[in-house]
Amino acid sequence: MCEDLDALLGELRARGVGIAREPSDRGWGRLAAIRLPSGAELAVYEPRHPTAHGR
């Protein structure tokens, strides 16, 4: 989970991290995935719902 998905993906791209799935709108938030060195994907998202840490 992150507050700014575009900024996070831009920073990761600059560091050479592969983007497995570009951001898509899911209603509850925006979802993307990065490629791990093992080849697996790790999902990251920017919520549009209230979060506990935001209170």
- How do residues 5-41 score in pLDDT, each as one tens digit? 999 999 999 999 999 999 999 999 999 999 999 999 9
Q: What is the CATH number of the domain that holds 19?
A: 3.30.720
* Nearest CA among 31, 45, 52, 32 for reference residue 2: 45
Q: Which residues pair with 35 in a beta bridge?
A: 41
Q: What is the radius of gyration, based on Cα positions, of the chain? A: 12
Give residue 27's domain range.
5-54
The 10 Å Cβ neighbour count of residue 29 is 15
Indicate the helix (H) or strand (E) that contains 12: helix 5-14
Q: Which residues pair with 47 in a beta bridge?
A: 29
**4 has pLDDT over 80:** yes
pTM value?
0.84
Structural domain count, the chain: 1
